[in-house]
Amino acid sequence: MEAIKNYKCPCCGAPLVYKAGSETLHCDSCDNSFELATITQMTEDMESAGGASKYDWEHYEPRDYQSDGEVNLANYSCPSCGAEISGDDTLGATVCPYCGNSTIVKGQFEGGLRPDYLIPFKLDKQAAVAAFEDDFKNAPFLPDNFKSKKKIQEMAGVYVPFWMFDCDCDASIVYNAEQVTAWSDANYNYVKTDYYKLFRSGRISFANIPVDGSKKADNTYMEAVEPFDYGDAVEFSDRYLSGYLADKYDVSAEDSIERANERVKNSAVETFKATTSRYSAVIPESTKIGFSNGKIRYSLLPVWMLNIKYKDTMYKFAINGQTGKVVGQYPVDNGKKWRYFWAVAGVMYAVAAAVAYFLLF
């Protein structure tokens, strides 16, 4: 018997020895045997799965943007929350889409940064209002001012800046997995646990992973309002801004990379995990993720925004301007809740009385 260098027992870590005249390696410590080919493959896979994850994104060079004159643009600034937005200068009484303040200041359009592309609004204001009102079915005790037509009309269509990330992601993940089988005969119950080392590697191409590029737009809202259909994306032009506001990014591409890495990594991990579902326990041992061909583009995505105040709290709503998905939390009008409770309790009392009546007679 001769020890084979570098090959360690996958069960106990002791050195494996080659059994002359066979294609098998043996562990003297735990008495397991392994096919030589399996151990070689495993060692190679372990080595390629080791090492640090690498994220390779191109550098994004911002481009200046001046109006092409198709729409008269203005700057709007909000003295209350500090939002600086551009947009159609014919918009009348504009309410700040981020904080609901109505004393927004209109000024000269000062140019900005040119988006690479944009998804145009598919839902006009009327359709967005209808989507919002339709969502009231999820809020049975909604205070009346949420249903005020005048208030809902304050909804503003805002193109929200997003960084879009594309990349090819190569991942190798090693898992320790178990498969538990249980059975019984007349005398005993048996439990058998098989232990596996799983290797998964492959390439996933990601396109259009969005990361919110505006500090004012709440990240949780912006991620909840997804998904957008990028099939509708067009090259940016002024004319799409007619009737709308457009925010500009204040989180740079570089500062958004961390979030993009996280989103790519999570999606890759999820996709790989899905291939291990037949095992009863799966624990990742090492994860290596690398990106290549990382492209960054600046784009504007359509969101309807509305702020409604109720009892000193501003309730924010975002409606996907392409799909009509409504994101936001409704307050509960306690008065309404109690009225509803008494109505229900009243019916229950009537039923109870009727039952008592039938029992008595």
Residues 142-170: b if buried by 16+ CB within 10 A, e if exposed: bbeebeeeebbebbbbbbbbbbbbbbebb
CB 307 to Zn ion: min, Å: 9
If one asks whether residue 264 binds Zn ion (CB under 5 A), the answer comes out as no
- How far apart CA 238 and CA 70 sit, in angstroms, is 6
Q: In whole angstroms, what is the distance from residue 298 CA to residue 310 CA? A: 36
Is the CB of 76 or the CB of 272 nearer to Zn ion? 76
Segment contacting Zn ion (CB under 5 A): 13-21, 178-186, 192-200, 233-241?
13-21
Q: Do the beta carbons of residue 302 and residue 97 sit within 8 Å?
A: no
Q: How many chain residues bind Zn ion (CB under 5 A)? A: 15
Select the span of 6-14, 158-166, 220-228, 345-353 touching Zn ion (CB under 5 A): 6-14
Q: What residues numbered 70-109 form the site for Zn ion, per CB under 5 A?
A: 78, 80-81, 83, 96, 98-99, 101
Residue selected from 9, 152, 233, 326 as contacting Zn ion according to rule CB under 5 A: 9
Give 86 or 322: the residue with its C-beta nearer to Zn ion: 86
Amino acid at site 31: D
Answer left, alpha or beta for residue 241, where phi above 0 means left and psi between -120 and 50 means alpha.
Answer: alpha
Name the minimum Å distance from CB 16 to Zn ion.
8
Alpha carbon distance 110, 206 (integer Å): 35
Minimum CB distance to Zn ion, residue 277 (Å): 29
Choose which of 7, 25, 27, 172 interacts with Zn ion (CB under 5 A): 27
Backbone angles phi, psi at 342, to 5 degrees: -65, -35
| Nearest-angstrom CA–CA distance, 214 and 163 | 10
Find the shortest distance in angstroms from Cβ 70 to Zn ion.
27
**Distance of closest approach, residue 178 Cβ to Zn ion, in angstroms:** 17
Backbone angles phi, psi at 222, to 5 degrees: -70, -35
Contact positions with Zn ion (CB under 5 A) in 179-208: none
Alpha-carbon gap, residue 263 to 259, rounded angstroms: 6
The two beta strands, 156-184 and 245-247, are parallel
Among residues 29 and 72, whose Cβ is nearest to Zn ion? 29
How many other β-carbons are positioned within 10 Å of the β-carbon of residue 204? 15
Q: Is 29 in the site for Zn ion (CB under 5 A)?
A: yes
CB of 285 to Zn ion, least distance (A): 17
Question: Nearest distance from residue 141's CB to Zn ion, in Å?
Answer: 28
Classify residue 79 as exposed, middle or buried by CB count within 10 Å of its CB (0-12, 13-18, 19+): exposed
Task: List the x/- string, 214-253, binding to Zn ion by CB under 5 A.
Answer: ----------------------------------------
With CB under 5 A as the contact rule, the residue among 4, 8, 11, 221 that binds Zn ion is 11
Among 22, 23, 30, 38, binds Zn ion (CB under 5 A): 30
Q: Does 12 bind Zn ion (CB under 5 A)?
A: yes
SS3 29: coil
Q: CB neighbours of 357 closer than 8 A, spacing ≥ 6? A: none
Least spacing, CB of residue 27 vs Zn ion, in Å:
3
Binding site residues, Zn ion, CB under 5 A: 9, 11-12, 14, 27, 29-30, 78, 80-81, 83, 96, 98-99, 101
